[in-house]
């Protein structure tokens, strides 16, 4: 069956030519990102368990994880956590299949502990947090649409994607990643990082929030020296991605005169007052981009078989990237894919491609090339699913 794919010319200024651009990334230790990571790691663990036991992925959605912040007393040289973080692992999953009971909660807790160990190196998972798993059974009607030969969309929903990334988007994403690399040399860097990029004309301003770990800092002077070292490193690092001017600032709420600076015991603000929830952080490409189309669907934790909130966002991003790279004459490509509940996931209600063409581009060739690439991705959704099973696609 021919897919309903439409390609149109988009008459707008490319993002790089617009005066103002805003971009945000929440790092892997931000409470919202931790919630996303937990949800996705549990989904992957369940996928593997289902495949090992039954040869197929069964219905599940683990996208309702909640993090309730604890209380702490950070102090130079090392403070303490007074009240542990509370993490509720919840959602829905197939718990019994063919008469066999699956230890869903045990799998979830094991996957969560592994993710927390990888994401929060200064958190004592045995003493500074409480893990609670309350994963229920999925509804029978959604399990039915899940089990058909070609999985049917679980919802009437849409996914969006775009390419290429702008310079500001590239810098914001890579700044957080570089800080995690820099952590090997500067262990005071905590994983709870937020990078806000604001480009005004040809100046890119980076506002970085970084939860510094108190035990690695003897006093406020060492804190300030370390902070200055980080800012200089990021300013120099970001220059490789642009010829624009870079301004970087970090922990701008610090009040040095009052002795109030951003230090933590565990490297995450979840230890003291900052809760976290799935879907409140980065979109599927790891960024929050108000200058671009976005979906509010939470990608993490949703099942990778028929949940279009996951599949279509990731597919749209991957297809847009390939279109921008391989089809000549394109400045920007935007994709929006809409499902209808109960209809095959490879036959969307509409798959819209909007192209900002380069001047003088042959738009007929652009249409043909873009359509072919998106049609191929929709025809090969199992390829995307396999990438998700193996953890080869980042979802946040």
Is 205 part of any domain?
yes
Which of 115, 146, 177 is the endpoint of a domain? 146
* Domain tally, the chain: 3
Residue 218 is classified by DSSP as: -
Q: Residues 6 or more apart from 254 whose CB is under 8 A from it?
A: 227, 260, 261, 262
Domain identity same for 79 and 223: no
How are beta strands 330-338 and 350-357 bridged, if at all? Answer: antiparallel
Separation CA 136–CA 91 (nearest Å): 6
pTM for this model (two decimals): 0.94
Q: pLDDT in tens for each of the 396 residues of the chain?
A: 799 999 999 999 999 999 999 999 999 999 999 999 999 999 999 999 999 999 999 999 999 999 999 999 999 999 999 999 999 999 999 999 999 999 999 999 999 999 999 999 999 999 999 999 999 987 544 555 455 567 899 999 999 999 999 999 999 999 999 999 999 999 999 999 999 999 999 999 999 999 999 999 999 999 999 999 999 999 999 999 999 999 999 999 999 999 999 999 999 999 998 999 999 999 999 999 999 999 999 999 999 999 999 999 999 999 999 999 999 999 999 999 999 999 999 999 999 999 999 999 999 999 999 999 999 999 999 999 988 888 888 999
* Contact call for residues 200 and 245 (beta carbons, < 8 A): no
Separation CA 102–CA 88 (nearest Å): 19
Asked, as a colleague might, if the bond just before 164 is cis with ω within 30 of 0, I would say: yes
* Contact call for residues 132 and 86 (beta carbons, < 8 A): yes
Domain identity same for 45 and 133: yes
Domain identity same for 139 and 49: yes
Is 317 part of any domain?
yes
Domain at 257, CATH number? 3.30.300.340
Domain identity same for 138 and 286: no
Domain identity same for 159 and 287: yes
Residues in the chain: 396
Q: Report CA-CA distances (Å) from 162 to 198, 333, 336.
A: 19, 5, 9
Is 395 part of any domain?
no
Domain identity same for 270 and 299: no
Cβ neighbours of 396 (radius 10 Å): 26
Which of 116, 146, 176 is the endpoint of a domain? 146
Separation CA 44–CA 304 (nearest Å): 9
Domain at 42, CATH number? 3.30.300.10
Residue 305's pLDDT is what? 94
Secondary structure of the chain: what % helix, strand, coil (to 5)?
35, 25, 40
* Contact call for residues 135 and 102 (beta carbons, < 8 A): no
Domain identity same for 241 and 334: no
Task: Report pLDDT digits (tens) over 159-190.
Answer: 999 999 999 999 999 999 999 999 999 999 99
Is 394 part of any domain?
no
Domain identity same for 260 and 315: no
Domain identity same for 237 and 304: no
Q: Is 240 exposed, middle or buried (0-12, 13-18, 19+ CB in 10 A)?
A: exposed
- The angle formed by the CA atoms of residues 367, 369 and 373, to the nearest 5 degrees, is 115
Is 99 part of any domain?
yes
Which of 215, 246, 276 is the endpoint of a domain? 276
Task: Report pLDDT digits (tens) over 116-160.
Answer: 999 999 999 999 999 999 999 875 445 554 555 678 999 999 999
Is 325 part of any domain?
yes
Domain identity same for 246 and 302: no
Domain identity same for 271 and 302: no
Residue 151's pLDDT is what? 87
Domain identity same for 175 and 103: no
Is 252 part of any domain?
yes
Domain at 335, CATH number? 3.30.300.280
Secondary structure class of 156 (helix, strand, coil): coil
- Residue 302's domain comprises 5-23+155-164+280-389
Is 160 part of any domain?
yes
Residue 74's pLDDT is what? 98
């Amino acid at each position: 069956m021919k897919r309903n794919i439409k390609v149109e010319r988009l008459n707008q200024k490319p993002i790089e030519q617009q005066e103002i651009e805003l971009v945000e990334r929440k790092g892997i230790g931000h409470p919202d990102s931790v919630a996303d990571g937990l949800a996705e790691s549990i989904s992957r663990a369940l996928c593997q368990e289902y495949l090992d036991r039954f040869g197929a992925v069964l219905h599940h959605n683990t996208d309702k994880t909640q993090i309730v912040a604890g209380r702490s007393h950070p102090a130079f040289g090392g403070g303490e956590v007074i009240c542990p973080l509370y993490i509720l692992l919840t959602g829905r999953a197939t718990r019994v299949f063919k008469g066999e009971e699956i230890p869903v909660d045990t799998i979830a807790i094991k996957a969560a502990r592994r993710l927390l160990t990888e994401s929060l190196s200064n958190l004592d998972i045995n003493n500074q947090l409480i893990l609670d798993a309350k994963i229920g059974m999925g509804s029978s009607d959604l399990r039915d649409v899940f089990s058909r030969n070609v999985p049917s969309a679980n919802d009437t929903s849409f996914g969006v994607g775009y390419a290429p990334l702008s310079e500001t988007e590239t810098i914001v994403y890579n700044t957080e990643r570089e800080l995690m690399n820099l952590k090997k040399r500067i262990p005071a860097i905590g994983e709870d990082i937020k990078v806000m990029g604001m480009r005004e004309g040809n100046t890119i301003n980076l506002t970085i929030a970084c939860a510094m770990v108190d035990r690695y800092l003897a006093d406020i002077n060492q804190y300030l020296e370390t902070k200055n070292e980080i800012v200089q490193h990021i300013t120099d690092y970001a220059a490789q991605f642009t010829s624009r001017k870079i301004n970087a600032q970090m922990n701008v709420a610090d009040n040095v005169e009052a002795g109030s600076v951003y230090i933590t015991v565990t490297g995450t603000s979840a230890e003291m007052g900052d809760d976290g929830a799935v879907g409140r952080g980065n979109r599927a490409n790891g960024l929050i981009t108000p200058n671009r189309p976005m979906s509010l669907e939470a990608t993490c934790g949703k099942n990778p078989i028929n949940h279009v909130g996951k599949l279509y966002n990731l597919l749209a991003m991957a297809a847009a990237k390939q279109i921008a790279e391989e089809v000549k004459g394109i400045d920007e490509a935007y994709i929006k894919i809409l499902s209808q509940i109960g209809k095959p996931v490879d036959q969307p209600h509409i798959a819209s491609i909007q192209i900002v063409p380069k001047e003088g581009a042959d738009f007929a060739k652009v249409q043909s090339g873009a359509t072919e690439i998106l049609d191929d991705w929709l025809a090969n959704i199992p390829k995307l699913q396999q990438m998700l099973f193996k953890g080869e696609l980042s979802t946040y």
